[in-house]
Amino acid sequence: MAGAIDAVTMPKWGLAMTEGRVVAWRRAEGEAIAAGAELVEIETSKITNVYEAPVSGVLRRCVARVGETLPVGGLIAVIAEAGVAESEVDAFVAEFNARRAAASPARAEATPAAPQTLPAGGRRMRYLRMGAGAPVVLVHGFGGDLGSWLLTQPVLAERFEVLAPDLPGHGGSTKEAGDGSLDFLASALADLLEALEMRRVHLVGHSLGGAVALKLALQRAELARSLTLIAPLGLGPEIDAGYIDGFIQANRNRQLRPLVERLFANPAMVGRKMVDEILDYKRLDGVAQALKTIAGAVCNDGRQVVALRPRLAEIVVPVQVIWGEADRIIPAAHARDLPPSVAVHLMAGAGHMVQMEKAIEVNRIIERFIGNVATQP
Amino acid sequence: MSKKSFREAINEALRLEMRRDPRVILMGEDVAGGVGAGGEQDAWGGPLGVTKGLMPEFGRERVLDTPISESAFIGAAIGAAATGLRPVAELMFIDFMGVCFDQILNQAAKLRYMFGGKATVPVVVRTMYGAGFRAASQHSQSLYSIFTHIPGLKVAVPSSPYEAKGLLIQAIRDDDPVIFCEHKMLYDDVEEVPDEAYAIPFGEARVRREGGDATIVALGRMVKFAEQAAAELAARGIECAVVDPRTTSPLDEETILDLVRASGRLVVVDESGPRCGMAADLAALAAARAFEALKAPVAMVTPPHTPVPFSPALEDAYVPGPAAIAAAVLRVVGAA
């Protein structure tokens, strides 16, 4: 009778998350579910997202009511084998809650990873590093920061050592963006990897960060073990220049929200806090200038001016491209006609922030890709 | 980013702006301390140590200890602002506005208008307000509503260290006179504050919590009390939005009205008195512009219309707290 009983607990998406609200169940009590299946929709002040079952089994108990807010680590549901008695599930729930209540004040979230800063190449660079295994580097896009990977980094960190830096001009890094060019940003990233003694890494880049990752792989071929480009800049001339200009200028929640919503196929994912956090960042001295400089270096007159498509052929390590079909910033059509060696994943129902909007699928694609490369001799 | 107190956040804002702009000067009673005396220099940094350390960095030329005459040095600061400096004058307690009110009301607030925009008065008056300090009726009032009433002034009422730093930097960079109101019970509150300078634009409320059952608008020290009340109510299944207007003039009417229209219930929490104060002003806003959405009368949580008592027991009863706020929410949602 000693079947496995597993707790499904409130996840921690991003550094600031302390609690989440259960919005809807995707599965009902009594259903058999596989690990990775979409289980429950959770809303935080920043983002609304689907949480997947951490293990396979039968969904025996939906502990949290719809509408209920739970702290990170709080019990949402119980998954157990079919043979486990109801009384055992009851006892499990009671014991879990009792143990949490007893430990609660001192528990302080088992030391969550915190961002660090260090001087690299004479610049202040902030980064968040977690996990162990093959080294992976996540490079955010224009106006983003390491938080752009809040649904990606903790999952990949279960198998890999994952570094998420803030590029110059972004997040907690220096607001000096040099000439704003991809060369500059790629060199700054190379300096950080050097300072952290990360010598051969799997590069994952989103949007502007995709172009930075690609540029780094071209500059320093020995650094890259693989390249995952998510809705990257540089593969075609089209871009929503109105978004770029509007993002630089917006200084109110009211102005910025519709722009941030344009990043998603489903704007309901965007919580008020996501917009407020971007505004807090944009209001730091130096950010507006940095963003203008970078935008000016990669776009001109409403078109992208960095053409990296012809240079993809120079990359000898495995390359994959992931794109949301409903991307309104950089069209998914840029994923067409790439060299045959490049694996292309088009995601239906996802916009530019595909790594957030289809986090479960994108995480799986990245894990499998890196896993395969990492096991090659 | 590091944890900073409200006091440190204000000190840092002053320091960064003084480094950035040589026109920024400080004036006030003992803002350094020790001037003209042989004893300890920079002995005080103001009565609660907010400006300590600035005189040693910027010198007596830019950090001016003034005589105990608000009418003189607030007037001098306004004159200096009109002639090219960007003074930050410390009016120790907001209660002392009475002796320098003409300078603020008729000079600072009016010059830009009366000179057709050819003159500006980029002065900041930093001032302490609020009860809870056992400082009696003449050092405990929350008079920001009086300044809010006067066209030509901008009024900031920060609720936390993060807000204090960004709002003060905006105040110093702003070309209009700003009354910057610091609650004396907030100075030791601590939170994460960026090390860099940042300016929070005036007239944009911060929605600190979302919730559809009722909207709580709170100011200054009352914001954290409203958040405590909202957290307690959430445990009982009642979800409240908590809004901090951050500035009372200009006021972000649209954000407040959006949330009132969404919830249909408004609780305003204001430490200034109930008559002609911010609570009455916000209640009027909801009644005039969102009447059709209101499902219950607006609840005003304020102190009573009396001077602040000196008796500690009475002073504690005077100041609105989380329990009074929660009770008001329960009334408007019909649960009490």
Chain B touched by A254 (CB under 8 Å): yes
Contact A253 B204 (CB under 8 A): yes
Residue pair B244/B236 in contact by the 8 Å Cβ criterion? no
Q: Find the DSSP H helices in chain A.
A: 86-107, 153-156, 182-195, 208-219, 241-249, 253-261, 272-282, 287-298, 354-357, 359-375
The answer on A149 and A59 residing in a single domain is: no
Contact A254 B254 (CB under 8 A): yes
Chain A residues closer than 8 Å to B170 by CB:
none
Highest-pLDDT range among A118-122, B43-47, B77-81: B77-81
Residue pair A320/A345 in contact by the 8 Å Cβ criterion? yes
Chain B residues closer than 8 Å to A172 by CB:
1, 194
Contact A283 B200 (CB under 8 A): yes
Nearest to B257 by CA among B233, B278, B288: B288
The answer on A29 and A13 residing in a single domain is: yes
Chain A touched by B231 (CB under 8 Å): no
**Which of B29-38, B73-82, B180-189 has the lowest average pLDDT?**
B29-38
Is A376 a residue whose pLDDT tops 90? no
Instruction: Read off the CATH number of the domain in which A301 is found.
Output: 3.40.50.1820
Instruction: Read off the CATH number of the domain in which B67 is found.
Output: 3.40.50.970
Mean model confidence pLDDT for chain B: 96
Residues 133-172 of A with CB under 8 A from B: 172
The residues pairing with A170 across neighbouring beta strands, listed in sequence order, are none
The whole-angstrom separation of Cα B45 and Cα B52 is 4
Q: In the predicted model, what is the mean pLDDT of residues A354-358? A: 94
Is B199 a residue whose pLDDT tops 60? yes
pLDDT for A12 equals 83
Q: In the predicted model, what is the mean pLDDT of residues B322-327? A: 98
Q: Identify whether B201 is part of a domain.
A: no
Nearest to B75 by CA among B106, B47, B50: B106
To probe the interface with A, which of B19, B192, B198 has the most A CB atoms within 10 Å?
B198
Q: In the predicted model, what is the mean pLDDT of residues A150-166? A: 95
Nearest to B203 by CA among B160, B255, B276: B255
Percent above pLDDT 70 for chain A: 96
Chain B touched by A19 (CB under 8 Å): no
The answer on B285 and B242 residing in a single domain is: yes
Say which of A252, A272, A284 has its CB closest to residue B196: A284
To probe the interface with B, which of A281, A282, A285 has the most B CB atoms within 10 Å?
A285
The answer on B283 and B150 residing in a single domain is: no
To probe the interface with B, which of A280, A281, A282, A289 has the most B CB atoms within 10 Å?
A280
Which of B193, B221, B249 lies at the terminal end of a domain, its last residue?
B193
The Cα-based distances of B161 to A277, A304, B220, B226 in angstroms read 16, 41, 11, 17
Which are the contacts of A70, defined by CB distance < 8 A and separation ≥ 6? A10, A19, A20, A21, A22, A64, A76
What sign results for the dihedral spanned by CA atoms B301, B302, B303, B306? negative
Give the chain A residue whose CA is nearest to the CA of B236.
A68
Our CA angle for B47, B52, B56, nearest 5°, is: 140
Contact A283 B166 (CB under 8 A): yes
Task: Compute the nearest-CA separation of A19 from chain B (Å).
Answer: 12
Q: Identify whether B184 is part of a domain.
A: yes
By residue range, what is the domain housing residue B309? 206-332
Nearest to A183 by CA among A219, A222, A137, A207: A219
Task: Compute the nearest-CA separation of B204 from chain A (Å).
Answer: 7
The answer on A32 and A14 residing in a single domain is: yes
Contact A286 B196 (CB under 8 A): yes
Residue pair B315/B131 in contact by the 8 Å Cβ criterion? yes
Say which of A69, A175, A272 has its CB closest to residue B207: A272
The answer on A32 and A168 residing in a single domain is: no
Is B214 a residue whose pLDDT tops 90? yes
Give the chain A residue whose CA is nearest to the CA of B254.
A254
pLDDT for A103 equals 65
Count: domains in chain B = 2
Chain B residues closer than 8 Å to A67 by CB:
237
Q: In the predicted model, what is the mean pLDDT of residues A310-324? A: 96
Peptide bond connecting B250 to the previous residue in cis, omega within 30 degrees of 0: yes
Residue pair B42/B56 in contact by the 8 Å Cβ criterion? yes
Dmax over CA atoms of chain A, in Å, equals: 69
Helix then strand then coil, in percent of chain B rounded to 5, is: 40, 20, 40
Contact A272 B210 (CB under 8 A): yes
The answer on A206 and A145 residing in a single domain is: yes
By residue range, what is the domain housing residue A91? 5-110
Which are the contacts of A319, defined by CB distance < 8 A and separation ≥ 6? A226, A227, A228, A229, A312, A341, A342, A343
Residue B267 CB-half CA count within 13 A? 32
In a 10 Å sphere around its CB, with 0-12 CB exposed, 13-18 middle and 19+ buried, how is residue A251 labelled? Answer: middle
Chain B residues closer than 8 Å to A69 by CB:
234
Contact A251 B201 (CB under 8 A): yes
Which of B163, B193, B223 lies at the terminal end of a domain, its last residue?
B193
pLDDT for A19 equals 87
DSSP string, B47-92: TTSTTTTHHHHH-TTTEEE--S-HHHHHHHHHHHHHTT-EEEEEEE
Is B336 a residue whose pLDDT tops 80? no
Contacts 24+ apart (CB under 8 A), A248-257: A248/A288, A248/A291, A248/A292, A248/A295, A250/A279, A250/A282, A251/A279, A251/A282, A251/A283, A251/B201, A252/A279, A252/B201, A252/B204, A253/A279, A253/B204, A253/B255, A254/B254, A254/B255, A256/A282
Contact B199 A283 (CB under 8 A): yes
Give the chain A residue whose CA is nearest to the CA of B170.
A283
Is B291 a residue whose pLDDT tops 90? yes
The answer on A156 and A73 residing in a single domain is: no
pLDDT for A377 equals 56
Token look-up 């608000």 returns: B70
Task: Compute the nearest-CA separation of B200 from chain A (Å).
Answer: 7
Contact B204 A172 (CB under 8 A): no
Residue pair A35/A55 in contact by the 8 Å Cβ criterion? yes
Task: Compute the nearest-CA separation of A249 from chain B (Å).
Answer: 13
Chain A residues closer than 8 Å to B200 by CB:
283
Instruction: Read off the CATH number of the domain in which A14 is found.
Output: 2.40.50.100
Q: Identify whether B199 is part of a domain.
A: no
Percent above pLDDT 90 for chain B: 95
Contact B206 A175 (CB under 8 A): no
Give the chain A residue whose CA is nearest to the CA of B231.
A69
The answer on B187 and B160 residing in a single domain is: yes
Mean model confidence pLDDT for chain A: 92
The whole-angstrom separation of Cα B332 and Cα B335 is 8
Percent above pLDDT 90 for chain A: 78
The answer on B327 and B266 residing in a single domain is: yes
The ipTM is: 0.93
Contact B255 A280 (CB under 8 A): no
Q: In the predicted model, what is the mean pLDDT of residues A16-44? A: 90
Is A1 a residue whose pLDDT tops 50? no
The whole-angstrom separation of Cα B48 and Cα A327 is 54
| Number of C-beta neighbours around residue A48 at 10 A | 17
Say which of A252, A253, A284 has its CB closest to residue B198: A284
Q: In the predicted model, what is the mean pLDDT of residues A49-69? A: 90
Chain B residues closer than 8 Å to A45 by CB:
209-210
Instruction: Read off the CATH number of the domain in which B325 is found.
Output: 3.40.50.920
The model's pLDDT over B157-169, given as tens digits with 9 standing for 90+, comes to 999 999 999 999 9
The whole-angstrom separation of Cα A100 and Cα B30 is 51
Give the chain A residue whose CA is nearest to the CA of B235.
A69
The answer on B229 and B184 residing in a single domain is: no
The answer on A36 and A135 residing in a single domain is: no
DSSP string, A289-355: HHHHHHHHHHEETTEE----GGGGGG--S-EEEEEETT-SSS-GGGGTT--TTSEEEEETT--S-HH
pLDDT interval class at B326 (50, 70, 90): very high
Count: domains in chain A = 2
Dmax over CA atoms of chain B, in Å, equals: 67
Chain A touched by B212 (CB under 8 Å): no
Contact B210 A45 (CB under 8 A): yes
Which are the contacts of A233, defined by CB distance < 8 A and separation ≥ 6? A141, A142, A207, A208, A210, A211, A239, A298, A304, A306, A330
Give the chain B residue whose CA is nearest to the CA of A115.
B1
The model's pLDDT over A135-150, given as tens digits with 9 standing for 90+, comes to 999 999 999 999 999 9
Residue pair B27/B73 in contact by the 8 Å Cβ criterion? yes
Pairing type for strands A38-43 and A48-52 reads antiparallel
Which of A110, A127, A161 lies at the terminal end of a domain, its last residue?
A110
Residue pair B162/B23 in contact by the 8 Å Cβ criterion? no
pLDDT for A106 equals 44
Chain B residues closer than 8 Å to A46 by CB:
none
Q: Identify whether B198 is part of a domain.
A: no
The answer on B157 and B46 residing in a single domain is: yes
Contact A251 B255 (CB under 8 A): no
Q: Which residues of B are catalytic?
A: 139
Q: What is the 3-state secondary structure (H, E, C) of B138-174?
A: HHCCCCHHHHHCCCCCEEECCCCHHHHHHHHHHHHHC
Nearest to B165 by CA among B125, B208, B195: B195
pLDDT interval class at A54 (50, 70, 90): confident
Chain A touched by B206 (CB under 8 Å): yes
Nearest to B268 by CA among B279, B277, B281: B279
Is A108 a residue whose pLDDT tops 50? no
In a 10 Å sphere around its CB, with 0-12 CB exposed, 13-18 middle and 19+ buried, how is residue B105 labelled? Answer: middle
In a 10 Å sphere around its CB, with 0-12 CB exposed, 13-18 middle and 19+ buried, how is residue B127 labelled? Answer: buried
Which of A68, A91, A110 lies at the terminal end of a domain, its last residue?
A110
Q: Which helix (H) or strand (E) holds A127?
A: strand A123-130
Q: In the predicted model, what is the mean pLDDT of residues B96-105? A: 97
The answer on B122 and B72 residing in a single domain is: yes
Q: What is the 3-state secondary structure (H, E, C) of B200-221?
A: CCCCCCEEEEEEECEEEEECCC
Task: Compute the nearest-CA separation of B13 from chain A (Å).
Answer: 12
The whole-angstrom separation of Cα B126 and Cα A327 is 48
Chain A touched by B210 (CB under 8 Å): yes
Say which of B198, B209, B234 has its CB closest to residue A283: B198
